Structure 1
Amino acid sequence: MGAKPGILAFDSAPFGEGSSRLAFRCKVAEGNYKGFPTNTELVLKAMKPELYERGIRVSDRDVEMQRKAADLAQEFNRLMQPKKHGRSCNVHMLETKLGTMTGHKVTSTGKVIIRDGEGFLLEQMIIGEFDKFNSNSGWSCGTAKLPDFFSHWTWVHTGGRYLVCDLQGHRGRPGGPLYQGESYYYLLTDPAICSFERKFGITDLGKQGIKNWFAHHVCNELCETHGLVQARPASPMTMRSARATLIARRRSSYVDEMCHATC
């Protein structure tokens, strides 16, 4: 007999939300679900109903995008060996899995929030304070140098094909939760990748988005130390034209917003 399929239990009310998805606390109640064993604390992410109605879906493309970002983070750690106060400060990207809802998921008032057959994303719960570090339009919190440097590095390292941005998650510090034995680290989730081919969904703003991001990006001392200051897209847009295309804002921006701003 095969292993018993895993069973999930999760709240009917979201505990958080991003620009496009709702986040629900979730747990593997029984068995093994997509590689997550019993009692694993998870976050289940489903498309907001208003975006679902527009035909936007969670899919394998979201998993592929996060896997690509995770691969680049590992390469960044290997090549750059980032440190803080003389100790390693690596960038980690959470692994995500794609699941499918069986039966409608409804609120206590009967409102359908996840439909039967709808895809959703699963990843481990982040323990610790959650912060937003930069966005896909070029906004930066201004207090986290490594994420901005990592974003800039991904574009340089991939020869201009990919810019990993829209970075958010937990910044490790002494006295807080460890991750893989590290006190200093960035544990990130739900990034965006702006790609030359625009292959990663509604937050992939493509070539124009990459130029827009760099028009707002102010290189910090890490960019300077590693020689990235002059490594930017050819013929970068001025800040004035960048604002006319898409202003730098904290939340994730969508492809149709870029189109509306340029059409």
Structure 2
Amino acid sequence: MTFCLPSNINKCILPDYKMKINEKELKVIVAKLPFSQGVLRLAYHGIDEYGKRVVLKLLKRMGWEEMGLKRYLEAIECQTVAYKFAQEFSIVNNDNNKIIKYTVARVAQVKNSAGTFFTIESYIDGEYEKFNNNSGWRNNDMSLEILKTFSHWTHHLSKGQ
């Protein structure tokens, strides 16, 4: 499952906005062991039915209420809206050398399972560096200035949501 990209950035931040879901069956081979983990998720390498490398993320078991489909859909909804914000920011940003892109995530349910879900994203080769978090921390590296600008712009446009 994935969300259809919102057509209007202002509508998608309204409290009553409902994103449309697109469902499709996909076959993926998943590694047996995670290659990385964060505070909330385990990350696994995978290969989809087209031979494309993907990353599958499984929520850690922090309580059954966090393991359901609703939690996964909330995560990819947020990522889909961020993708739309990045598209809009690229239009208003005058520096074409600094473009922000998001990968579109999908939710997958393991076939014949009652509640095992993953998020699936395209594999992106490279090193990753965090530039801020939800607690207010931010990286003060000046080369990340465009990311700080984007973060501030999205906070302002979404009225802090």
Displacement of 1:81: 2.9
* CA distance in structure 2 between the aligned counterparts of 1:81 and 1:12, rounded to whole angstroms: 45
Seq. identity, %: 27
The alignment's C-alpha RMSD in Å is 1.7
User: What residue is the counterpart of 2:98 in the other structure?
Assistant: 89
User: What residue is the counterpart of 2:119 in the other structure?
Assistant: 121
Structure possessing the higher radius of gyration over alpha carbons? 1
Equivalent residues in 2 for 1:60-139 (5 A)? Answer: 60-83=73-96, 88-102=97-111, 116-139=114-137
* CA distance in structure 2 between the aligned counterparts of 1:6 and 1:101, rounded to whole angstroms: 10
SS in 1 for 2:108: strand
What TM-score does the superposition give when structure 2 sets the normalisation length? 0.75
- Structure 2 residue identity aligned to 1:78: I
SS in 2 for 1:136: coil
Show CA shifts across 1:50-75 (max 9, x none). Answer: x2x34213422212111111111111
Is 1:56 aligned with 2:81?
Answer: no
Gaps of 5+ in 2: 1-24
Gaps of 5+ in 1: 31-37, 104-114, 163-194, 196-263
Show CA shifts across 1:120-161 (max 9, x none). Answer: 100001111111111111111211211111111112223x1x
Is 1:39 aligned with 2:39?
Answer: no
Change (3 A) 1:138 1:82: farther
What TM-score does the superposition give when structure 1 sets the normalisation length? 0.47
Relative contact order, CA 8 A, sep 6+: which one is greater? Answer: 2
The list of structure 1 runs, each at least 4 consecutive aligned residues, that deviate by more than 2 angstroms after superposition, is none
How many residue pairs get aligned? The number is: 132
Show CA shifts across 1:24-50 (max 9, x none). Answer: 00111x3xxxxxxx101000001012x
Show CA shifts across 1:61-110 (max 9, x none). Answer: 21211111111111111011335xxxx1100011001110235xxxxxxx
- Structure 1 residue identity aligned to 2:44: F
